[in-house]
Structure 1
Amino acid sequence: MHVAYVVVTLLAVAATGFSGVAALAHFRPILPGMAAAGVPVSWLTFPIGTLKTAGAVGLLLGVPWIGVAAAAGLVLFFACAVHTHLLARDYSAQFMLANGFLLLVGAGLALGLIGT
C-alpha cells in the first residue's frame, strides 16, 4: 500500500503542480477552456493557480497530516472545477482533465487516509 500511495501522490504532485504553474503563467492553451467554463482570466493567478500549486507543495512535503489536508483541499477544488464545467455545459478537454485530476487526488486522499 505504501508504494501505491507514493506513486499516486507523486503523479498527483506532477499533474497538479504543472496545472497550477500553467494557471499562474496564464499558459495560452488553457485560456479557451477557462473561458468556455465562464472562469475569468483574473482568477488564474488567485485562486486557481495559487491553490493548485499550494496543494501540490502540500502533497510533496511528506508530512502525513499535511498531505491528507492538501489532498482533501485538492479534491474539493477539482470537484468544484468539474461542477463549474458541468454548469457551463463545457465538455472540453479541460473538463476531462478536471475529472482525471479529481480521480487522481481522490485516490491519493483515500490511500493517505488508509495509511494514517
Structure 2
Amino acid sequence: MFAGYLVVTLVASVVNGLAAIANFIGHEYPKSQADKLSVPRSWMRPLGTLLAAGSVGLLAGMQVPLLGSLAAGGLILYFLGALYVHLRVGDYQLGGWAVFFCLAVGSLVLGVLYQGAW
C-alpha cells in the first residue's frame, strides 16, 4: 500500500509542479491552451500558483496527512473546473486532463487508505 501511495503522490506532485512552472515562465503550451479555451492569459500565474500549492501540499501530506488530503481535494476541484472550461468551448480532447485528474484522485484515495483521513 505504501509503495502505491508513494509513487502516485510523487508523480502527481511532479506533474503538477511542472505544470505550475510552465505557467510561471510563460511557456507556449499553457498560453495556447488558454487561447483555445478562452481563458485570459492573465490567469496563468494564479492558476500556476494553485497547481504549485497542490504540488507542495501533496508532498507535505506525507508527514501531515490532513494537508495531503486537502491538497488532493483542492487539485480535484481545480481539475473539475478545468473539465468545465474544456466542455464549455467544445474541446473534447481530454487525455491530458484525465491523467492529471486521475493522479489527484489516486493520491487522495491512496492517502486516505494508507494514512487515514486525518
1:83-116 Cα distance to aligned partner (Å, 9 max, x none): 1101111234xx4212210011101111111121
1:102 aligned onto 2:106: no
* One-letter amino acid of the structure 1 residue matched with residue 9 of structure 2: T
Inter-partner Cα distance in structure 2 for 1:17 and 1:80: 18
* Alignment partner of 1:77 is 2:78: yes
User: For residue 48 of structure 2, what is the aligned residue in structure 1?
Assistant: 49
The residue aligned with 2:69 is: 68
Q: What amino acid sits opposite 2:24 in the alignment? A: L
Cα 1:34/1:96, change in 2 over 3 Å = farther
Q: Deviation at 1:42? A: 0.3
- Percent identity of paired positions between Structure 1 and Structure 2: 36
TM-score by length of 2: 0.90
Question: Where does structure 1 differ by over 2 angstroms across 4 or more consecutive aligned residues?
Answer: none
RMSD: 1.1
Output the amino acid matched with 2:52.
Answer: T
8 A contact 1:19–1:49 mirrored in 2: yes
Q: How many residues align?
A: 113
* TM-score (normalised: structure 1): 0.91
Structure 2 distance, partners of 1:72, 1:106, is: 8
